[in-house]
Amino acid sequence: MDGENRGASKPVPDNLKEFLNELQLLALHRIESFGWELKFVRRPDSRHAIPLVSNAEGTTIGVLEEDGRVNLEHDVRLRS
């Protein structure tokens, strides 16, 4: 596999509102007050985005689901 699949895309796009819905944006603002942050947005195709968030220590990664829940039991595979 080539080193970087993202190409010119940034890990966290400048235009989050195009990728996150209103519930996800509200949830993101809420969990940021607990030290969580948006790490990157997976964009496997033009219709779907998978936002991933991390706790302050970077030890836990969760998927920010469409309904605003943080799913810690996701099946997203991450590179080491």
Q: Is residue 11 part of a domain?
A: no
Q: How many CA atoms lie within 13 A of 67 on its CB side?
A: 2
pLDDT in tens, 18-70: 889 999 999 999 999 999 999 988 887 767 889 999 999 999 999 999 999 99
Q: Is residue 36 part of a domain?
A: yes
Q: Is residue 8 part of a domain?
A: no
Burial bucket for residue 51 (CB in 10 Å: 0-12, 13-18, 19+): buried
Beta strands in 1-80 (DSSP E): 37-42, 50-54, 61-64, 70-71
Residue ranges making up the domain that contains 59: 16-71
Q: How many structural domains comprise the chain?
A: 1
Q: Is residue 31 part of a domain?
A: yes
- What's the rounded mean pLDDT across residues 14-19? 83
pTM of the predicted model over 0.85: no
Length of the chain: 80
Q: What is the pLDDT of residue 2?
A: 42
Q: Is residue 2 part of a domain?
A: no
